[in-house]
Amino acid sequence: MSTILECRGLTKRFGQVEAVSGVDLSVGTGRIVGLLGPNGSGKTTLIKMMNGLLTPTFGEISIGGYAPGIETKRLVSYLPDRTYFDENMKVKHCVGMFTDFYDDFNPTKAHDMLTSLGIDSDKTFRTLSKGMKEKVQLALVMSRNAKLYLLDEPIGGVDPAARDYILNTIIRNYNEDGTVIISTHLIADIEKVLDDVVFLMAGRVERTASVDGLRESEHKSVDELFREVFKC
Amino acid sequence: MLKNLIKYELRSTARIFLFSYLAMVAITVAGIVIRAIANTAGRNPVEHTVLSFAVLALVIAVIVVCVITLIVIILRFGRNLLGDEGYLLFTLPTTTDKLILSKLISGIIWCVAGCAVTVLCILLIGTVTGTNLDSLMNTLAAATGAGMNVGGYIAWFIAMAVISLASLILGLYCSMALGQHITKNRVTGSCIAFIIICIATQIITYSVLALMHITQRAEYGAKQVEAVMNAGSESAQLKVWVDFANGVFNSYSIAVTVMSAALGIACYAITRYLLKRKLNLA
């Protein structure tokens, strides 16, 4: 198993606040990894640094052997925790945009997923509900044949039924040679799909382990362990 | 990739601009039609009043379109790159240069289109009111006959306008890119940065022009008086003066344009550095 993502001493400060502190992390290919931690633990900051949207204060990131830049953007399929399309864009133009910019994007797959969701491609983004917008973005992100999927809180703002749909979409559509990193604090919903977990607390990596290994050694589910580790 | 970025940028902004241009043409045509009706009815004072209002409405429309263009250029950069949409744009496999250039080129395209529509409306009104464009053409022909390169001047004027426009837009981009590093409030930071850039631009521009003015006066003292004295006839003296004036005009306009281009390039370099090396999307 080769390494797709490597972080060395990764630190991000916002003024006096250290959001991420000296994170060392190595993630192999073909894994589904849960980046788990309570609110404010640094999950989103870490993912944003991986995407080059935040500049690290210290440390290095390597994705597929490259520092964040144009090469890594070809490898990474990123789902942010917000709507990132122009609200006036039609859904079909969003698909067109991904087709134009990403060589590994499969528009047929995207249209099929949108059809299964009952989304009219002629609708503008503005007219969709929050949940629908998230699903459109997820459909586009998962229609790429990426090496690394970085999904920031994909199930954060949706109802339990939609969570199942989203998780099934991820499992059914990701590139099996690739790696999926899912950040969330909703462990119980996501536990069943994870191979590995990374616990983040106050910007530091508290623990990294495989889910099976964790269950065997601790005799607890990841959710139970999470509640124990992050007990208030 | 740049072509695609420009395509999506133009598509995103087309609706508001096309609507604005349509409004300008509609105002012009409405004024012309109402004037024609008044004219048919034989009421000359009404006809003149209608035309005056049409011209006034067109002037207001042009001002509104200029303001809209400026606001859209600012918002497109602010929201599309530094706001939530930046999460998409900065994760596309393209360079920071292409992201900035796509915004800049699209902005210039809309400004040029706005100017073209304005000229079209003016020509429409001019034609309908019987304003004799022949006199303008005759003047230009006479100037060409006297040895003036009219085509060259027009091309130079357009080049100056485009360079100054690009420099202004890059100044705005630079202010916004700097704004997020100056204060926590991005808008306040951008305004402060823009004021600083404007002051620096004015100081540099006027310093160079003042220096040039001194040089030109020195040149005038040493050479031009002598040339006038040696010119002989009045027409020859006049030609020397015209050549001198042209020379001064050209050297000043070249200097201003070169400085404008240099400041634009400096703003571009700062923006590029901040977006590439110091990006921190909220």
A13 touching B (Cβ < 8 Å) = no
**pLDDT band of B148, cuts 50, 70, 90:** low
Per the CB < 8 Å rule, is B90 touching A52?
yes
Token output for A166: 């989203």
Q: How far is A136 from chain B (nearest CA, A)?
A: 14
Which residues on A lie below 8 Å from B7 (Cβ)?
100
Taking CA A170 as the corner, what is the angle to CA A165 and CA A176, rounded to the nearest 5 degrees?
150
- DSSP 8-state assignment for residue A126: G
A206 to chain B, closest Cα gap in Å:
25
Confidence of residue B51 (pLDDT cuts 50, 70, 90): confident
Q: What own/partner pairs with CB < 8 Å and gap ≥ 24 does B145-149 have?
A: none
CA distance A203 to A14: 12
Q: B95 CA to chain A: closest CA distance, Å? A: 7
Query: A37-41, A51-55, B8-12: which has the minimum mean pLDDT?
Result: A37-41
Yes or no, beta carbons of A53 and B87 under 8 Å apart: yes
User: Of A70-74, A119-123, B27-31, B115-119, where does mean pLDDT reach its minimum?
Assistant: B27-31
pLDDT of residue B68: 92
Mean pLDDT, range A161-183, rounded to an integer? 84
What is the reported pLDDT for B234? 62
How far is the alpha carbon of B198 from chain A, nearest alpha carbon, in Å?
29
CA–CA distance, A66 with B126 (Å, rounded to integer): 62
* ipTM for the predicted complex: 0.92
> Percentage of chain A with pLDDT > 90?
54
Whole-number pLDDT of residue B241 = 61
Q: Is A76 on the interface with B (CB under 8 A)?
A: yes
| Contact indicator for B60, A60 with CB cutoff of 8 Å | no
Reported as a single tens digit per residue, the pLDDT across B163-211 is 999 999 999 999 999 998 888 788 899 999 999 999 998 898 888 888 8
Model confidence over B239-259: pLDDT tens digits? 666 666 566 567 777 888 888
- Which DSSP string do the residues of chain B spell out, in sequence order? -HHHHHHHHHHHHHHHHHHHHHHHHHHHHHHHHHHHHHHHTT-HHHHHHHHHHHHHHHHHHHHHHHHHHHHHHHHHHHHHTTSTTHHHHTTSSS-HHHHHHHHHHHHHHHHHHHHHHHHHHHHHHHHHTT--HHHHHHHHHHHHHTT--HHHHHHHHHHHHHHHHHHHHHHHHHHHHHHHHH-SSHHHHHHHHHHHHHHHHHHHHHHHHHHHHHHHHHHIIIIIHHHHHHH-SHHHHHHHHHHHHHHHHHHHHHHHHHHHHHHHHHHHHHHHHHHHHS-B--
User: A202: helix, coil or strand?
Assistant: coil
In this structure, what are the phi and psi dihedrals at residue A54, rounded to the nearest 5 degrees? -125, 140
Where are the domains positioned within chain B? Answer: 1-131, 141-282
Please, which residues 39-58 of chain A have a Cβ atom closer than 8 Å to chain B? Answer: 48, 51-55
What is the CA B20 to chain-centroid distance, rounded?
A: 18
Cα–Cα dist A161/A164, whole Å: 5
CA distance A134 to chain B (A): 14
Q: Pick from B11, B84, B86: which is nearest to A83 by CB? A: B84
B→A contacts (Cβ < 8 Å), by residue, are 1, 4, 7-8, 11-12, 15, 80, 84-88, 90-95, 277-281
Smallest Cβ distance to B91: which of A78, A82, A100? A78
Phi-psi region of B130 (alpha: psi -120 to 50; beta: other; left: phi over 0): left
Per the structure, the complete domain to which residue A79 belongs is given by 3-229
The neighbouring-strand residues paired with A60 are A8
Coil vs helix vs strand at A232: coil
The distance between the two most distant Cα atoms of chain A, rounded to a whole number of Å, is 52
Read off the pLDDT of residues B70-84 as tens digits, 9 standing for 90 and up: 999 999 999 899 999
Give the distance, in angstroms, between the CA of residue B274 and the centroid of all CA atoms in the same chain.
26
Closest to A82 (Cβ–Cβ): which among B4, B7, B87? B87
Taking residues A108-125, report their average pLDDT.
90
Strand positions, DSSP E, chain A? 3-14, 17-28, 32-36, 58-63, 76-79, 148-152, 179-184, 196-201, 204-210
From chain A, the residues in CB contact with B11 under 8 A are 93
Q: Decide if pLDDT at B15 tops 60.
A: yes
Residues of A in contact with B90 (CB under 8 A): 51-53
Closest Cα partner for B267 from B181, B158, B194? Answer: B194
Contact status, residue A155 vs residue A81, Cβ threshold 8 Å: no
Residue with more model confidence, A162 or B224 = A162
Confidence of residue A223 (pLDDT cuts 50, 70, 90): confident
pLDDT at B96: 94
Contacts of A73 (CB under 8 A, 6+ apart): A51, A52, B91, B92, B93, B94
- Contact of A195 with A33, CB cutoff 8 Å: yes
Beta-bridged to residue A13, according to DSSP, are A18
Q: Which is nearest to A37 in space by CA: A189, A205, A195, A216?
A: A205
Residues of B in contact with A76 (CB under 8 A): 91
Name the domain count of chain A: 1
Sign of CA dihedral A85, A87, A91, A96: negative
Give me the residue from A51, A52, A84 closest to B85, CB to CB. A84
Is the pLDDT reported for residue A92 higher than 70?
yes
Query: How far apart (Å, rounded) are the C-alpha atoms in residues A202 and A229?
Result: 12
Angle of helix B234-277 relative to helix B96-128, nearest 10 degrees? Answer: 140
Task: Give me the mean pLDDT over the A45-60 stretch.
Answer: 95
Tell me the C-alpha distance between B228 and A121, whole Å.
Answer: 75
> What is the chain A residue with the closest CA to B82?
A53
- Which residue from A48, A54, A86 is facing B12, i.e. has the nearest CB? A86
Q: A100 and B11 in contact by Cβ < 8 A? A: no
The reply to whether residue B277 touches residue A55, judged by beta carbons under 8 angstroms, is: yes
Q: Is the pLDDT of residue B229 over 70?
A: no
Instruction: Suggest the residue from A100, A138, A148 to mutate for an interface test with chain B (most B CBs closer than 10 A).
Output: A100
Mean pLDDT score of chain B: 83
A to B CB pairs, distance under 8 Å: 62
Q: Say if CB A170 and CB A142 are below 8 A apart.
A: yes
Using CA coordinates, name the residue in chain B closest to A72.
B93
Where residue A51 sits, what CATH number does that domain have?
3.40.50.300
Q: Which residue of A has its CA nearest to B8?
A: A97
Distances (CA, A) of B256 to B111, B206, B280: 21, 9, 35
